[in-house]
Structures are given as C-alpha cells and as structure tokens.
Amino acid sequence: MKVLSSVDSLTLEYVYALLIIFAGGVIRGFTGFASGLVMVPLLALLWGPVEAIASVVGLGIFASIQITIPAIPLVSWRDVRPMIVAGLCFTPVGTVLLITLDPEIVKKIIAAAVIFVTVVSLMGWTYKGPRGFIPGFITGAIGGTVSGVAGVGGPPLVLYLMSLPGTAKEHRANIAIITTMMGLTVLVSMLMADAVSKKVLINVAVLVLPYMASVWAGARLFNIIPAQAFRIIIYWMLIAISLMILIS
C-alpha cells in the first residue's frame, strides 16, 4: 500500500508540474520570455526553490537554443557584452544566496521579485536613463543576481534592452542571447555548487518535450489572441499567485 501511495503521489506531482510548465511554455512562446515568472514560484511550492530553479533553467536552455541560433547575426554585441560579463560575475553570488538561505525566505524573495517586475510591466514603465557600458553592466549585475537567487532575472534585462535603439527583430535577438547566456550561467553556477540533483535531471527529462510543445503552442497563439489582453491576464494572475505565497 505504501508503494502504491508513493506512486500515486509521484504521478500527481508530475501532473501538477505538467500543468505549470504548460502555462509557462505558452507564455514563453507568446512573449519570448517570462516563463520563469510563472513556473519558478509554483514549482518552488512543489519541489522547493533550489530544485525548481534548476529545473526551470534546464528546461529553458532547450527552448532557448531554437530561438537563439537564428538570432545571433542580429545581436548588438556592443550592448549585450557588458550585461553578459556582469552576469558571469554576479550570477554565482545569487546562486550562493539561493543555496545558503532558508528555503522559506527564498520563496518570499521569489514572490516579491515577481510582484515587483509584474507591477512595473503593468504600469508600462520604460527605462529612459543613460546607456552604455556602465549602465549595461549594472543591469546585467542586477539581472544576474536575481537570476541566481530567484530565477526571475529576465525582466530587468528586457526593460533595459527594449530602451535601446533598434528594430523589433534586433530587440528580440538581444533578448534571446542575453536570457540564454544568463540561463547557462545560472546552470553552470548550480552545477559548480553541486545543486543539480538527480531529481532535477529526471524533472528535465520528463518535462522537456511537453515544455517545448507548449512553447510552440504559445508562438501559434501570438497570431490569435490580442497581445495586450493576454499580458494583462497573465500579470494579474502572477500578482495573485505571488501574494498567496507571501502571506502563506
């Protein structure tokens, strides 16, 4: 009976995980980023913050490859290079905080970070400050640290990149390369800290194909659902989820 109970519990766990990664994948396919905002706080409730972030980063790498490779010729390396350098320096700092802090505190940090970036996005705020190596490095440092400790460092990077001159295709290319590089840095940092467990590898192996399918579905929805309405629904859902985590 105990064996059957364990099997049922494991099956239910992955049913929940499939629903979560499907929602995150659709958002990733529709917007090009932001899947971590949905998946990290919910999977942290299921697996704890360390396994949740490691699993989300692992899944994200597979989804990023198909987006990043064709985008490379359009990347503005002058703009993204200081952000990548800062990410390499500061992501390990966030990873150390993730591993050493109490898991409950990390969950609260994740929820607070999600609420902040979601409210900023809802307000339609755009960065209008200085650009260049130093602002890019500072932005990369913030994004890298938040990525390491909470797995949701993409929005600060996107807000800065979208403020730079360039076409929509160039913006998408810059976002694709920086989010991929940040994800790889988080993954390497977690591997070096021995934070990628066998359970994480199983999670990625089980969920990667459904996740990539949901990313594909999200990309198809882009031509069907009005983008503004979709984003508003998602943003308010994120705020509700994060508030529940904060007060739990």
pLDDT in tens, 62-121: 877 767 777 789 899 999 999 999 999 999 998 888 888 887 787 787 778 778 877 877
Do 214 and 24 touch, CB atoms closer than 8 A?
yes
What is the pLDDT confidence band of residue 135, given thresholds at 50, 70 and 90? very high
pTM of the model: 0.76
Q: Note the helical H segments in the chain.
A: 2-31, 35-47, 49-71, 77-100, 103-123, 133-150, 154-162, 168-192, 198-221, 227-247
What is the reported pLDDT for 3? 45
Do 246 and 108 touch, CB atoms closer than 8 A?
yes
What is the reported pLDDT for 4? 43
Alpha-carbon distance 247 to 225, whole Å?
33
What is the reported pLDDT for 22? 92
Alpha-carbon distance 87 to 211, whole Å?
25
- The pLDDT > 70 percentage for the chain reads 87
Tell me if residue 224 falls in helix, strand or coil.
Answer: coil
- Mean pLDDT confidence for 42-64: 87
Task: Write out the residue range of the structural domain in which residue 96 sits.
Answer: 2-247
What is the reported pLDDT for 129? 79
How many domains, the chain?
A: 1
Dihedral angle at the C-alpha atoms of 79, 216, 61, 203, nearest 10 degrees?
Answer: 150
What is the reported pLDDT for 230? 64
- Mean pLDDT confidence for 138-165: 83
- Provide the token pair at 244: 């529940």
- 231 against 29, higher pLDDT: 29
